[in-house]
Amino acid sequence: MDTIHYFANSRDEQDYVSHSEIDNDYFLQLKAEQALVEAMNWHGGKIAKYRFEVNVLPKSSKLGINNGRIWKLRIWEGEKGMAKGSVANYDREWQLSPSKELEPHVRRILKLYN
């Protein structure tokens, strides 16, 4: 079974930092963006070959998946990127439903964040 790797936000520092010397202003900007993302309840991670982002409400809602806390979920094939590789998208309703192959991964994400 694949492991879910999740981060406090949708992007880890390595996504931003491709060189070894970091400009201090850039580093402060990165930390401020991470704090904002966390405050807005965005989380993300990786499961199998997929990346995902979720927005989690403080408590269950009729807007959430199965009346749960997740009211936004996007899953995409990591190598293709979010724009070209989207395989599931929920934004208060399913805009792109997950395939049968993806359903076990969606259940694991729901279990983790609900």
Q: Where residue 100 falls among pLDDT bands split at 50, 70, 90?
A: very high
Look at residue 52 in the predicted model and tell me its pLDDT: 94
Is residue 82 over pLDDT 70? yes
Per-residue model confidence as pLDDT tens digits over 20-43: 455 666 666 666 666 655 667 888
Look at residue 15 in the predicted model and tell me its pLDDT: 44
Look at residue 3 in the predicted model and tell me its pLDDT: 53
Which one is predicted more confidently, 82 or 98? Answer: 98
**pTM above threshold 0.85:** no
Is residue 9 over pLDDT 90? no
Is residue 60 over pLDDT 90? yes
Domain map of the chain by residue range?
Answer: 4-113
Is residue 14 over pLDDT 80? no
Look at residue 19 in the predicted model and tell me its pLDDT: 42
Round to whole Å and give the CA distance between 34 and 36. 5
Look at residue 39 in the predicted model and tell me its pLDDT: 60
SS3 60: coil
DSSP per-residue codes, 61-101: -TTSGGGSSEEEEEEEETTTHHHHHEEEEEESSEEEPPPTT
